[in-house]
Amino acid sequence: MAAHSPAARTVTPEWEAELLRVIELDPHQVGVQSATWTTKLLAEYLARKTGVTVGQEAVRVYLHRHGYVCKRPTWSMKRKAQEMPDYLGNACG
């Protein structure tokens, strides 16, 4: 039985550099109409910018390699926030 050879690296150094550059930017700065980056948006943007197409999981893996973690936005209830003593909406005057 033949050993499996490792898959050729699809991602280029240019792709990786652009990922690391763009992740620090607001998506609007590069023409992406979103308030936040998602792995899907990053994959789509990088495919257009670099010509290298990868899936969302590959983006996640490369982000993780560089210390980034994909998280869902945190939502809070306004009522709960208002109960906090340092909530700005509680400021007088």
Query: Using an 8 Å Cβ cutoff, are 11 and 58 in contact?
Result: yes
CA distance 74 to 92: 27
6: tokens are 């490792």
Digit-coded pLDDT (tens) for 17-73:
999 999 999 999 999 999 999 999 999 999 999 999 999 999 999 999 999 887 766
According to the model, what pLDDT value does residue 30 have? 97
| Residues 68 and 83: beta-carbon distance below 8 Å | no
